[in-house]
């Protein structure tokens, strides 16, 4: 393992955490997984970051049952991203006005794309939720795309049942995160598969 890869991995997490925190604090609707994390946090009396980390650890364990082995990056992500989300939520107040909420949402999505590119360019393993997606695809003989859709929709629906909030921001995230993440990946030189 190269020191540069580890540095990229470690720097990516505060960027991802701030992006997630801004999207949540926009109060326009979080990403599907974060709707779940917020709902789980409310239902279980946890912080959003703790719910995020608990979900990540659970995803890694489920993926292991389908022989999807985590990389170092997967394990570090399971621990750090939740801490970084809690730090961001402690520092960033809720957006009091719609123009600031829109700015939070846009900045959060851009930071999420940058963090994703930096994280993947470290080449130390996929995220825990991606491991879950691969495990589902293997178990059900589904395409990765179908497994991803099933995982995202399940997280969103369970999150709503638990009290998480979706909204226009959830839709904007869903439509824009792919291209923005692609931009981040290209920016940091991760080869495109």
pLDDT in tens, 40-93: 999 999 999 999 999 999 989 988 888 888 889 899 999 999 999 999 999 999
pTM summary value = 0.89
Per-domain boundaries in the chain: 3-187
What percentage of the chain carries pLDDT values higher than 70? Answer: 97
List C-alpha distances in Å: 125 to 71, 73, 107, 122, 183: 4, 5, 26, 8, 19
Residue identified by tokens 């497994």 is 147
Where would I find the beta strands (DSSP E) of 30-158?
none
CA 189 to CA 27: how far, in whole Å? 33
């Amino acid at each position: 393992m190269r020191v540069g890869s580890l540095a990229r991995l470690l720097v990516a997490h505060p960027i991802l955490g701030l992006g997630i925190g801004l999207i949540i604090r926009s109060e326009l609707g979080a990403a599907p997984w974060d709707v779940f994390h917020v709902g789980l946090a409310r239902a279980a009396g946890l912080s959003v970051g703790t719910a995020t980390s608990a979900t990540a650890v659970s995803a890694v364990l489920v993926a292991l049952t389908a022989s999807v082995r985590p990389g170092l990056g997967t394990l570090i992500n399971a621990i750090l991203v939740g801490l970084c989300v809690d730090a961001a939520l402690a520092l960033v107040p809720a957006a009091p006005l719609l123009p600031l909420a829109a700015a939070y949402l846009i900045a959060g999505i851009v930071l999420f794309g940058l963090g994703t590119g930096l994280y993947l360019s470290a080449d130390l393993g996929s995220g825990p939720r991606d491991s879950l997606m691969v495990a589902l695809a293997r178990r059900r003989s589904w395409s990765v795309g179908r497994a991803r859709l099933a995982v995202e929709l399940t997280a969103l629906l369970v999150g709503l049942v638990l009290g998480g909030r979706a909204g226009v921001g959830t839709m904007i995230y869903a439509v824009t995160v792919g291209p923005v993440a692609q931009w981040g990946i290209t920016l940091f030189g991760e080869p495109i598969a």
